Amino acid sequence: MILNAFFKALAQLGDPRFRRVLWMGIGLTLALLIGATAGFVALLDWLIGEQVFLPLIGEVTWIDDLVSWSSVLLMLVLSVFLMVPVASAITSMFLDEVAQAVEDKSYPLLPPAQPVPFWDAVRDTVNFLGVLITANILAIILYIVLSPVALFIFWGMNGFLLGREYFTLAAMRRLDRDKANALRARHSGKIWLAGTLMAMPLSVPVINLLIPILGAATFTHLYHAIIASDPSARTSQDRAR
């Protein structure tokens, strides 16, 4: 079910409407990463200063230049850590448009969706980003103590959080919040696995630029696949209409 949803999303990359949203998402993602990298480089320049004294070497003046010249590599490294909150923010902004493009192509007989009210979406995004950032800061302790499996902890934790957000956002276009949460709870294993499979390429520079929008499309397909396989969910959706 999960792989089928992903390959359906991947197959729609050629759709002009889908591709437009994809490029907008990539552009905004790059802008956020470049802004974060510029801020980090400026902070390092301020902390290092123009001169640094190194034992046995003495004063050196080229470290701040090295930091500035290596900013592209630094951005690739930072993207491994920043792409999880960036993916969350991008998805919150574009999921409705991506989901509509997916549904227009693959589920054309559906009635119009009910978009989440703007301020509700803003509140949910801010709350989720807070949870996501707090969880990753607290997880640093686990990464240090359990360093051999730190990457798996990173994937599993962020897969759970991202899957929870992506699926809830997709479901709330068709169900109210309580029904969307109940549906997510009944299928939490699938959703966690799908989120983890999305979190894994988020840690790969360059490839991770494609994941936020592909993830939104994948979870839209996954939502409809779950609805089709869950009789109680179909009843809830009919009532929500």
For 96-125, what is each residue's pLDDT tens digit? 888 888 998 899 888 888 777 667 767 777
pLDDT in tens, 40-77: 767 766 665 555 554 555 455 555 555 555 666 666 66
Planar angle of CA 40, 125, 86, nearest 5 degrees: 35
Of residues 2 and 81, the one with the higher pLDDT is 2
pLDDT at 190: 92
Is the pLDDT score of 185 beyond 60? yes
Domains held by the chain: number:
1
* Mean per-residue pLDDT, 172-178: 87
Residue 161, domain extent = 2-240
Q: Output the pTM of the full model.
A: 0.77
160: pLDDT strictly greater than 70 = yes
Are 195 and 2 contacting, i.e. CB atoms less than 8 angstroms apart? no
Structure tokens at 45: 């320049």
Q: What are 74's two structure tokens?
A: 């630094």
